[in-house]
Structure 1
Amino acid sequence: MKQPVEGFSKLTKDQKIDWLSKAYFANPGKAVTIFKKYWNDDEKLQKLHDEFIENTITNYYLPLGIAPNFLINEKLYTIPMAIEESSVVAAAGKAAKFWSKRGGFRAEVIATEKIGQVHFIYKGRPDTLRDYFEHIKPKLLSDTASLSENMEKRGGGINKIELRDKTDELKDYYQLHCTFETLDAMGANFINSCLEQFAKTFKDGALEYTAFSEEEKQIQVVMSILSNYVPDCRVRAEVSCKIVELNEDHMPPQEFADKFVRAVEIARIEPYRAVTHNKGVMNGIDAVVLATGNDFRAVEAGIHAYASKDGRYTSLTRASIEGDTFRLEIEIPLALGTVGGLTSLHPLVKLSLEMLGNPSAPELMQIVAVAGLAQNFAAIRSLVTTGIQKGHMKMHLLNILNQLHATEEEKEHFVHYFKDKTATHRSVTEAFYKLREKA
């Protein structure tokens, strides 16, 4: 039976790997070799990576690919994408090329406001609490002046503080609902620092507020934290063209447009389909968010919450036919940053942002939304024409061959062999062993 380890965080990286390998692996030597194989030879760069998180033992690599030919608001981009899934980058690039010949993508930022909350318990008279809030509000702002000074100089800062009564949902529960403008920073540290100061000022001030009873003075702050749900930090992107321009090898343009719109409508009304539909959208969004050093988990949580804002989980995209015109659009919340965090530390993040022309946060919001829309177009286009597997498995072919330890000559042979065939795992494996038997 394994025993807990004491003082693990104080061990060196080598000692951590040594303990881990002996405690959890049948072949400790092999495990150590693999862990160390992914260390960077540049000690300074490796140390930088080691300090991103805690208890680092090695690096876990994801491929960084690029999708060129994205025409967004009449500006051409090559978009970096960090992702492990086959066919995503190729699909994005194919969609980008398709729409670059039809006017490209149009995108706009609707709003950039972010949210944070102080959650607290108050047992007393609601009217007295409201009076206290109006009394303490100026001090909430003055006590955070030093925190918001630099942000305000750049045009951002604290927008609004509201008292919200949530007692109809949870007994004695109230919140300070606060909005912020953080410009090119994602702003999590700034927002959380402000919220914690709001909480301290609010709680301490209650002890001296004479209109409160002794019980009312004992405000209990439960937590102070930003929200990753940012419905007022939104971006919209769209593509459109004449239906006759939707030239497809597999069906007439009108039939393609009709099937495409119907497929998106199904995702709008059917949650089981909507989840997979939106997963495809997030393939594009997450890949760019990750490549640019942003928090894809926060983005995922916020976007999926937005997909449920009307009480049922639904499609993030909308497709329509208006007269002789086909249109596909997306509107999503996105809280992104182009300064601070990994954006100024990770060398590949710096290059990714430079590749995009060192965009502002609003410009990056537009690029990311377009990547999601392009991915959605590519996925639906495949689904309503050839089916998803033909293209996906063609891209997955090399993964299967690598699992089979194919030689370079064998890989070249099978890439050519499956050029006009659907490459399932079974068909590749059977063809592979037949070739080996002949050799």
Structure 2
Amino acid sequence: MGSKTISGFSKLNKVGKIKWIAETFFKDPEAVIKELKSYWYANEEKQRVLDGFSENTLSNFPMPFGVAPNFMINGKAFTIPMVIEESSVVAAAASAAKYWMTRGGFKTEVLGTTKIGQLHFKWFGDFSKLTSLTSAFRVYLEKHTDDLVVNMRNRGGGLTNLYFKDFDDQIPGVRQLILEFETCDSMGANFINTVLERSSDILYNFILDQESFLPHEKDYDKIMAILSNYTPECLVRASVSCPVSELGNFGPITGEKLAEKFKDAVDIARIDPYRACTHNKGIYNGIDAVVLATGNDFRAIESCGHTYACRDGQYRSLSFCEIKDGVFNFWMDIPMAVGTVGGLTNLHPIAKRSLEMLGNPGSEELMQIIAATGLAQNFAAVKSLVTTGIQKGHMKMHLMNILNHLNANEQEMNLAIKHFEKNRISFSEVRTYLESKRVNLV
């Protein structure tokens, strides 16, 4: 094997990159090259599009693309596309969807769609004097960014508000200009960042033009300009509700007992960060899967949600449960900045199909679909935890992964599936069972 460092890697063509990787890091480079190429699209145009998403692309990384049917959201039926590798997530979402379909379905509403950009700058002038000029600066800014904003404004979006924030008491001289935007069906990151970067020069010129500022107050230094992925005012609510008497029985557990235990579990996640972390991870099992399937940015959306979960100073559950007047209520408010035009939503071939499957929703409807999926996933997980336990269903779904890992053939798989319908599933027990059958089948 050669040196594990290289100069000019990015300048190699795709085959050259694969060849260097294979020959440098693997014992059988020819097999590795063949394997990586096997995941390329046969359609060269599709492969070229995917290669353009990122840098130093070698191959594609397949992920399961599944669906969860029977979602009733605001009286409308959906089959939800989901991209996720974790066993039982899609099945759990589908199970919760079917359960709530006969109990009123999911209710959702968008509470806000505001997105935020920040210009951070260092300025040692009189902050109160600057804030007194906010209205004048907005007029000045809108005039000098009109060419950037006109198309968004024609679609009903654009700049909706701006204000200044002072951090001088924490970092001397540091101030912020906050711009608030409506970006319609676009997630809007590129639009917001473009406006922000020009805003730096505009603010500097505005300060220079103000005769009321003293000479030292005209010293201005841009630090950085970028959108914030924390969008607490781009918010969607999802909820389910039914009389406790209609929850049904789960083996020996009555609906009344389920409601009580379920509420306790959610309340624990409200007060205990250790539980809240896993609780919210379950929510994002559902959310991330739909976000990926529709070509949106799951990292930004999840980062925002976790920030929102600790907005009062402690990390808490994103969902809530209440039992009032004999009615079970389960809901969450969650920030959700997504788009249905631009970015990968129009470029990724399966993302386009996912949106088509959902009826080509606008961004607000997609927010609601994703939130409902996250709530469904959370309901299914908590219900399992307080009834049968999480492992029974999870290991049943995980059985196929174990069998594949142990190179079981079709006959062995069929025998194992039947055997483990009534027996505890673990890796060691599946391996022991297979070994016994392989001896008997010889």
TM bracket, shorter-chain basis: over 0.9
Q: Which deviates further from its counterpart, 8-17 or 121-130?
A: 121-130
Cα–Cα, structure 1 residues 71 and 135, in superposed 2: closer, same or farther, change >3 Å? closer
Maintained 8 Å contact 2:4/2:24: no
Q: Which deviates further from its counterpart, 164-173 or 289-298?
A: 164-173
* Contiguous gaps of at least 5 residues in structure 2: none
Query: What is the alpha-carbon distance in structure 2 between the residues aligned to residue 4 and residue 218 of structure 1?
Result: 45
**Superposition deviation, residue 91 in structure 1:** 0.3
2:313 matched to 1:297? no
Percent of aligned positions that are identical: 50
> 2:5 matched to which residue of 1?
4
2:140 matched to 1:139? yes
- Amino acid corresponding to residue 219 of structure 1 in structure 2: Y
Q: Which deviates further from its counterpart, 199-208 or 124-133?
A: 124-133
TM-score normalised per structure 1: 0.97
1:311 aligned to which of 307, 310, 313? 313
Cα–Cα, structure 1 residues 3 and 392, in superposed 2: closer, same or farther, change >3 Å? closer
2:331 matched to 1:336? no
> 2:100 matched to which residue of 1?
99
2:177 matched to 1:176? yes
The 3-state SS of whatever aligns with 1:111 is strand
The 3-state SS of whatever aligns with 1:223 is strand
Query: What is the alpha-carbon distance in structure 2 between the residues aligned to residue 20 and residue 113 of structure 1?
Result: 44
**Superposition deviation, residue 433 in structure 1:** 1.3
The 3-state SS of whatever aligns with 1:110 is strand
The 3-state SS of whatever aligns with 2:113 is coil
> 2:111 matched to which residue of 1?
110
Cα–Cα, structure 1 residues 220 and 401, in superposed 2: closer, same or farther, change >3 Å? same
> 2:420 matched to which residue of 1?
418
Maintained 8 Å contact 1:124/1:216: yes
Structure 1 residue runs of 4+, over 4 Å off?
131-135
Query: What is the alpha-carbon distance in structure 2 between the residues aligned to residue 114 and residue 260 of structure 1?
Result: 34
Maintained 8 Å contact 1:117/1:195: yes
**Superposition deviation, residue 24 in structure 1:** 1.6
> 2:26 matched to which residue of 1?
25
1:364 aligned to which of 363, 366, 372? 366
TM-score normalised per structure 2: 0.97
The 3-state SS of whatever aligns with 1:14 is helix
Instruction: Note the alpha carbon deviations across 1:203-225, whole angstroms, 9 max, x for none.
Output: 23334444334432221111110
Query: What is the alpha-carbon distance in structure 2 between the residues aligned to residue 337 and residue 82 of structure 1?
Result: 17
> 1:433 matched to which residue of 2?
435
- Amino acid corresponding to residue 242 of structure 2 in structure 1: C
Instruction: Note the alpha carbon deviations across 1:88-144, whole angstroms, 9 max, x for none.
Output: 000000000000011111000011111111001112322343355554332211111
Query: What is the alpha-carbon distance in structure 2 between the residues aligned to residue 129 and residue 327 of structure 1?
Result: 47
> 2:161 matched to which residue of 1?
160
Cα–Cα, structure 1 residues 103 and 38, in superposed 2: closer, same or farther, change >3 Å? same
Q: Which deviates further from its counterpart, 408-417 or 93-102?
A: 408-417
Maintained 8 Å contact 2:204/2:220: yes
> 2:268 matched to which residue of 1?
266
**Superposition deviation, residue 302 in structure 1:** 0.3
2:120 matched to 1:119? yes
Query: What is the alpha-carbon distance in structure 1 between the residues aligned to residue 269 and residue 111 of structure 2?
Result: 24
The 3-state SS of whatever aligns with 2:178 is strand
> 2:254 matched to which residue of 1?
252
Instruction: Note the alpha carbon deviations across 1:404-429, whole angstroms, 9 max, x for none.
Output: 11101111111111112231112111
**Superposition deviation, residue 253 in structure 1:** 1.1
Maintained 8 Å contact 2:131/2:163: no
> 1:280 matched to which residue of 2?
282
Maintained 8 Å contact 1:317/1:331: yes
> 2:389 matched to which residue of 1?
387
Matched residue count: 439
> 1:64 matched to which residue of 2?
65
* Contiguous gaps of at least 5 residues in structure 1: none
Query: What is the alpha-carbon distance in structure 1 between the residues aligned to residue 27 and residue 199 of structure 2?
Result: 53
Maintained 8 Å contact 1:185/1:337: yes
Query: What is the alpha-carbon distance in structure 2 between the residues aligned to residue 63 and residue 84 of structure 1?
Result: 6
The 3-state SS of whatever aligns with 1:312 is coil
Maintained 8 Å contact 1:394/1:422: no
Query: What is the alpha-carbon distance in structure 1 between the residues aligned to residue 382 and residue 250 of structure 2?
Result: 15
The 3-state SS of whatever aligns with 1:423 is coil
Q: CA RMSD in A?
A: 1.3
Instruction: Note the alpha carbon deviations across 1:322-374, whole angstroms, 9 max, x for none.
Output: 12111110110000100001111111111100100000100000000000000
> 1:201 matched to which residue of 2?
202
Query: What is the alpha-carbon distance in structure 2 between the residues aligned to residue 174 and residue 222 of structure 1?
Result: 10
2:357 aligned to which of 355, 358, 374? 355
Query: What is the alpha-carbon distance in structure 1 between the residues aligned to residue 336 and residue 6 of structure 2?
Result: 41
Query: What is the alpha-carbon distance in structure 1 between the residues aligned to residue 397 and residue 67 of structure 2?
Result: 15
Maintained 8 Å contact 2:243/2:327: yes
